[in-house]
Structure 1
């Protein structure tokens, strides 16, 4: 079963087409890069995958995630909230609550699974707090659990956002430009974290990137959009400089910032056990 299936997706804003009949599939357990120049439709496509944006109404338009309809013919599925609970989001802006502790920000990921009466005052069980600490350990930030989120660096905050998705028990993670505002070292840590949870937990990850070298290093397949259409869909190895020059319409520098190579991780004895 495909993790994500998109068919004949079209979207226009104020009459201008942004997505022009997009049809793609993503297999379960893939880590896929979504690339293309600014304005190509990457973020718009990502928002359609969880129904944050609805497509134009068309007879064949369909978005399915984990075998369940998210939207069809430009209408949201009646049980879309159940599907959204299985999708984690990582945004460029982190979307943390700065005045709360790092651990509490991670615990927010569990709100979709706890009773309303308990979520309103922010009551979490000891077991949930332990799971939040485990998620923070998985992203290398357990020692920061009691700090205010605002005291962390940008790269650390982004890894807290990933831990929040793990706390949510997300089966698909949509990471929209997660390293766009980060320095190279922080970018490396964030991409390695996404790659590790993809490989060791089997979580499907789709990440939009401007830095093509990061896509080449961390993803096996890429989908490239150009002017709202699929320009490339295939293995990273086939994404050569000639293809990129055509995609971006100019001689393309494969990384907007210097790429820091992955460094071997020291064995810590920590395994990624399902939350």
Structure 2
């Protein structure tokens, strides 16, 4: 069964076409990089997957996650709420409640599965609290469980967001520019965490990235958007310099692709895209 299936997706804002008949399929257990220049439609596409944005109603589009309809012809599916409970979202802005503890932020991932009265009271069982600690252990942050979320660094907060997805028992993680505002070391830890849960737990991960080198290092497949259309979809090693140059409209320095997992240069400036 496909984890994600998008068919003929179209989206316009103020009559400006942002997505143009996009069709994509992602298999369960894949970790896929969604790349492209700013304004190519990456974030808009991601928002359609969890029903935060809906397609143009004039388009015969369909979005399915884990075999369930999220939307069809620009209208939300009846089971959208239940489907959302199986999708974890990691945003660029972290989206944690800063005044709450790290553990409580993780426990929020369980809200879709507990009675309403308990969610209103913030009442979690001993077993749920233990599970939250286990999720934090998985992302390397158990020792920070009782700290306020605001005390953590940006990279640590992003890993808390991933732990929240584990608490949610999400089968698909959608990470939209999760390392855009992070330093290189924090970026590495976040991407390694996403890779770990993909490999060890079989969670499907789709991550949007501006950094081609991180896509090459952590993902086996890339989907590239250009001006709202699928420009490339295939193995990451097939993303050669010519394709990247055309995709970004830049000159890609020699040696900016094809690095193995243990060969990434220490200086990310080696990968800077130089305008033509």
Q: 5+ residue gaps in structure 2?
A: 264-276
Give the TM-score, by structure 1 length.
0.92
Q: List 4+ stretches of structure 1 deviating above 4 A.
A: 253-256
In structure 2, how many angstroms separate the alpha carbons of the residues matched to 1:128 and 1:115? 13
In structure 1, how many angstroms separate the alpha carbons of the residues matched to 2:234 and 2:22? 15
Query: 1:120 — aligned with what?
Result: 120
Indicate if the aligned counterparts of 1:60 and 1:73 stay in contact, CA closer than 8 A: yes
The answer on 1:212 being equivalent to 2:212 is yes
Query: 2:133 — aligned with what?
Result: 133
Q: Deviations over 1:29-67 (max 9, x none)?
A: 000000000000000000001110000013520000000
Residue correspondence of structure 1 range 1-275 to structure 2 within 5 A: 1-58=1-58, 60-252=60-252
Q: 5+ residue gaps in structure 1?
A: 264-275
In structure 2, how many angstroms separate the alpha carbons of the residues matched to 1:253 and 1:81? 45
Give the TM-score, by structure 2 length.
0.92
RMSD (Å), alpha carbons: 1.6
Query: 2:270 — aligned with what?
Result: none
Indicate if the aligned counterparts of 1:211 and 1:254 stay in contact, CA closer than 8 A: no
Indicate if the aligned counterparts of 1:188 and 1:262 stay in contact, CA closer than 8 A: no
In structure 1, how many angstroms separate the alpha carbons of the residues matched to 2:31 and 2:173? 9
Residues 146 and 31 of structure 1, relative CA distance in 2, 3 Å threshold: same
Shift of 1:252: 3.5
In structure 2, how many angstroms separate the alpha carbons of the residues matched to 1:7 and 1:38? 23
Residues 214 and 158 of structure 1, relative CA distance in 2, 3 Å threshold: same
In structure 2, how many angstroms separate the alpha carbons of the residues matched to 1:58 and 1:253? 43
In structure 1, how many angstroms separate the alpha carbons of the residues matched to 2:124 and 2:178? 28
In structure 2, how many angstroms separate the alpha carbons of the residues matched to 1:255 and 1:51? 39
Residues 18 and 5 of structure 1, relative CA distance in 2, 3 Å threshold: same
Indicate if the aligned counterparts of 2:10 and 2:59 stay in contact, CA closer than 8 A: no
